[in-house]
């Protein structure tokens, strides 16, 4: 038992620091979610059953609704649900810790820095969404991170579980599906096993059935599908407080412009898609070529490849946030832990630091809880643009050096 405790990635100081944060984080947050939507949906699930929650006005994916149902069951009454809705932060905070610890533990053989996870856990840019804003972005992000780690280490059944969970946690996780596919192609290309494929499919199907069974049996599955269909276009604005490229392109406030308006023959929404898919292709190309090279030459995945993977994933997160319409201020969050993983592997921390600052400038510039960003949104947008440019330069510089070598 003592050896098991010593080898565990979770240490006593993690528990101590988590307890300290629980004791001091404010009980306030983004009112519309923390004190309105979420307790209302939790109450609805308590009174009508989880299977009927899609008959309410919820627009969330199922995993979080499962959590709201059990949150309501835990408190038992509408009054207690509303009075204690701030406690949802404690649940989200577990995922902040899980993501930081998972990265530090999985990559520990590649670096020598002690207590590396605290570069995230002492990072206000990383913790702000949970501790101040009271949002759930750490949940899908940590699940995606676990999927990457499991795919890299060929723990394919666990990978199938986390890949499936990530989509049902937040639909935006779909932007990371190509990474799941690339790593899976490598693992199957090096060692093909049809039984493993069937087992992975089985894990994915069973996971989906467990998640969706209340809504299938309760007759509200079509309402769930409606939420999925309408998720794109739910906030038809050029920006939903994301300080991104649209603040540099447009003179008018992007939050006040409908993204279905036409510019140069196309809607702003379609221009966002064009920029996203173009930049994504540019970003992905070196990783795809490097993966194919390793498959054909029967090479194992090494530290340089791992660094390229995390750098590319973080860059895609920035691209998604920076050029698409309908982006919220929090949608750059996944880039922070992914750039952190890249930093540990490459010993280059500048992009990680810049992204932590830019994200904090955006979320607090919107929320204004700490008053950290008195500047115009355009300055934050420029910083995100610099981060994207540096990332692309790094991706292609590393790729060029590898080809020369």
Q: What is the pLDDT of residue 222?
A: 94
| Pairwise CA distance, residues 307 & 302, whole Å | 9
Please, which pLDDT band fits residue 400 given cuts at 50, 70 and 90? low
pLDDT at 242 over 60: yes
Return the DSSP state at 34.
I
Cα-Cα-Cα-Cα dihedral of 21, 26, 32, 38, to 10°? 50
Per-residue model confidence (pLDDT) at position 404: 55
What pLDDT is attached to residue 332? 97
Q: What is the pLDDT of residues 48-107, one digit of tens each?
A: 999 999 999 998 999 999 999 999 999 999 999 999 999 999 999 999 999 999 999 999
* Three-class HEC string of 336-374: HHHHHHHHHHHCCCHHHHHHHHHHHHHHHHHHCCCCCCC
Q: How far is Cα 348 from Cα 255, in angstroms, rounded to an integer?
A: 35
Rounded CA-CA distance 78/52 in Å is: 17
Looking at residue 89, what is its pLDDT? 96
- pLDDT tens figures, 179-237: 999 999 999 988 888 999 999 999 999 999 999 999 999 999 999 999 888 877 667 89
Residues 6+ apart with CB under 8 A from 305: 290, 291, 294
Distance CA(153)–CA(161), nearest Å, equals: 14
- Which of the four pLDDT bands, split at 50, 70 and 90, describes residue 358? very high
What H or E segment, with its residue span, contains residue 327? strand 327-328
pLDDT of residue 403: 56
Q: Is the pLDDT of residue 4 over 60?
A: no
Query: Among the residues of 28-137, which ranges form H helices?
Result: 31-32, 38-48, 62-75, 78-83, 88-106, 118-121, 124-128
Nearest-Å Rg of the Cα atoms of the chain is 21
What confidence category does residue 7 fall into, taking pLDDT thresholds of 50, 70 and 90? confident
Look at residue 251 and tell me whether its pLDDT is greater than 70.
Answer: yes
Query: Please, are residues 141 and 127 in contact by the beta-carbon 8 Å criterion?
Result: no
- Enter the pTM of the model: 0.94
Nearest residue to 99 (alpha-carbon basis) of 82, 79, 121, 84: 121
* For residues 156-180, average pLDDT: 94
Q: Tokens 């949940």 sit at which residue? A: 139
**Whole-number pLDDT of residue 49:** 94
- Mean pLDDT within 29-50: 92
Answer yes or no: is pLDDT of 3 > 60: no
Number of residues written out for the chain: 405
For residue 266, what are the β-bridge partners?
A: 263
Whose tokens are 């007759």? That residue is 219
């Amino acid at each position: 038992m003592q050896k098991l405790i010593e080898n565990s990635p979770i240490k006593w100081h993690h528990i101590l620091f988590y307890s300290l944060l629980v004791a001091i984080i404010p009980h306030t947050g983004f009112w519309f979610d923390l004190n309105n939507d979420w307790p209302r949906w939790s109450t609805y699930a308590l009174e009508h059953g989880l299977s009927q929650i899609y008959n309410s006005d919820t627009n969330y994916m199922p995993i979080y609704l499962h959590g709201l149902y059990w949150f309501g069951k835990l408190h038992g009454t509408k009054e207690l649900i509303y009075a204690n809705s701030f406690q949802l932060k404690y649940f989200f905070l577990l995922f902040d810790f899980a993501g930081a610890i998972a990265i530090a533990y999985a990559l520990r053989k590649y670096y020598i820095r002690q207590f590396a996870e605290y570069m995230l856990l002492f990072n206000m840019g990383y913790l702000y969404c949970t501790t101040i804003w009271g949002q759930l972005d750490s949940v899908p992000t940590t699940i995606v991170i676990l999927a990457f780690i499991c795919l890299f280490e060929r723990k394919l059944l666990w990978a199938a579980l986390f890949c499936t969970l990530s989509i049902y946690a937040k639909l935006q996780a779909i932007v990371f599906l190509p990474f799941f596919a690339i790593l899976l192609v490598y693992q199957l290309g090096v060692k093909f096993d049809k039984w493993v494929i069937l087992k992975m499919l089985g894990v994915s199907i069973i996971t989906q059935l467990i998640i969706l069974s209340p809504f299938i049996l309760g007759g509200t599955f079509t309402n769930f599908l409606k939420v999925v269909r309408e998720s794109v276009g739910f906030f038809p604005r050029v920006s939903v407080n994301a300080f991104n490229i649209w603040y540099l392109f447009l003179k008018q406030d992007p939050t006040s412009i409908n993204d279905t308006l036409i510019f140069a023959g196309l809607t702003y929404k379609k221009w966002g898609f064009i920029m996203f898919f173009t930049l994504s292709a540019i970003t992905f190309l070196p990783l795809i070529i490097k993966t194919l090279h390793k498959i054909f030459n029967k090479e194992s995945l090494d530290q340089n490849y791992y660094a390229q993977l995390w750098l590319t994933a973080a860059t895609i997160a920035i691209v998604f946030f920076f050029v698409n319409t309908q982006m919220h201020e929090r949608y750059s969050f996944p880039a922070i832990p992914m750039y952190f993983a890249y930093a540990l592997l490459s010993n280059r921390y500048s992009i990680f630091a810049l992204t932590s600052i830019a994200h904090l400038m955006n979320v607090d510039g919107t929320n204004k809880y700490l008053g950290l960003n008195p500047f115009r949104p355009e300055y934050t947008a420029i910083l995100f643009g610099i981060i994207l440019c540096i990332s692309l330069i790094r991706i292609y510089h590393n790729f060029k050096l590898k080809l020369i070598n």
